[in-house]
């Protein structure tokens, strides 16, 4: 929030406190402001209204931590979201495996998914997995996905064709030859 939001913020907090039959002191209002000041006034207003409408938690006046939980979500909510993202990324990785295979470059753009594939030996190794390995690979992928920061593109995103092309270019350059035609181009 900005300094010019203080009056509206004070009105919002004191109005909410009146609903619960409470008074807000200047000291507690300063604490509310210091605690929630990193959020926009609209977001705080929305979170307070959501709290008041909630049949369970809305029975009591919220504390700043209750408002922050509504604004940012609880750690448990964030973990569940990350788990859902990881499961979705696994599904997309399997779809890419079926549609692309090891000869083409990995089409996945999600940096965490790429890092999880890298953790399993890279795209080519990932594509060469046997069906019986998928259950364990899924668990490893999801665990790796959840632990990864979003890094840059891993080096093993290349499929077999691109790896061979890169090797051929390097060999041709070192031999002083003209570059070969790549990717089966005539």
Planar angle of CA 153, 159, 161, nearest 5 degrees: 135
**Are 99 and 167 within one domain?**
yes
Pair (105, 152) in one structural domain: yes
Comparing CA positions, the residue from 49, 65, 14, 10 lying closest to residue 33 is 10
For residues 113-139, give the mean pLDDT. 90
Whole-angstrom Cα distance, residue 147 to residue 137?
Answer: 15
Same domain, 89 and 37: no
- Report the chain's mean pLDDT, rounded to a whole number: 83
Shared domain for 25 and 95, answered yes or no, is no
Claim to verify: residue 99 and residue 60 sit in the same structural domain:
no
Residue 80 to residue 84: CA distance in whole angstroms = 6
Specify whether the CB–CB gap between 156 and 102 falls below 8 A: no
> Lowest mean pLDDT: which of 16-25, 87-96, 150-159?
150-159
* Band of pLDDT at residue 7, cut at 50, 70 and 90: very high
Question: Following CA atoms 95, 99, 100, 106 in sequence, which dihedral angle do they give, to the nearest 10 degrees?
Answer: -20
Domain that holds residue 47: 3-72
Q: Total structural domains in the chain?
A: 2
Burial class (CB in 10 A: 0-12, 13-18, 19+), 39: middle
Domain-terminating residue out of 49, 72, 95: 72
pLDDT for 8 = 94
In sequence order, the 6+-apart residues with CB closer than 8 A to the CB of 97 are 126, 127
The whole-number pLDDT of residue 176 equals: 65
- What mean pLDDT is predicted for residues 87-100? 94
Q: Do residues 91 and 63 both lie within one domain?
A: no
Among the candidates 51, 72, 93, a domain finishes at 72
Based on the domain organization, do 60 and 111 belong to the same domain?
no
Residue 136 pLDDT > 50, yes or no? yes
Task: Tell me what pLDDT residue 159 has.
Answer: 67
Q: Domain check: are 59 and 81 in the same one?
A: no
- Band (pLDDT 50/70/90 cuts) for residue 165 is low
Domain shared by 171 and 81, yes or no: yes
Q: How far is CA 73 from CA 24, 66, 85, in A?
A: 25, 10, 16
- Do 98 and 162 lie in one domain? The reply is yes
Cα separation of 60 and 173, whole Å? 73
> Would residue 160 count as lying in a domain?
yes
As a whole number of angstroms, the distance between CA 90 and CA 112 comes to 11
């Amino acid at each position: 929030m900005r300094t010019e939001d203080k009056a509206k913020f004070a009105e919002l907090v004191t109005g909410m406190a009146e609903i619960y039959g409470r008074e807000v002191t200047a000291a507690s209002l300063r604490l509310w402001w210091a605690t929630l000041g990193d959020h926009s006034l609209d977001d705080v207003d929305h979170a307070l209204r959501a709290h008041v409408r909630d049949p369970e938690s809305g029975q009591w006046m919220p504390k700043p931590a209750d408002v922050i939980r509504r604004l940012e979500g609880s750690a448990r909510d964030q973990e569940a979201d990350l788990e859902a993202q990881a499961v979705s990324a696994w599904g997309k990785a399997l779809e890419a495996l079926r549609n692309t295979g090891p000869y083409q470059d990995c089409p996945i753009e999600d940096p965490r998914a790429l890092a999880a594939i890298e953790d399993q030996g890279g795209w080519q190794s990932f594509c060469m997995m046997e069906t019986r390995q998928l259950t364990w690979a899924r668990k490893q992928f999801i665990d790796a996905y959840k632990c990864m920061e979003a890094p840059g593109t891993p080096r093993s995103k290349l499929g077999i064709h691109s790896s061979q092309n890169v090797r051929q270019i390097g060999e041709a350059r070192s031999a002083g030859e003209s570059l070969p035609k790549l990717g089966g181009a005539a």
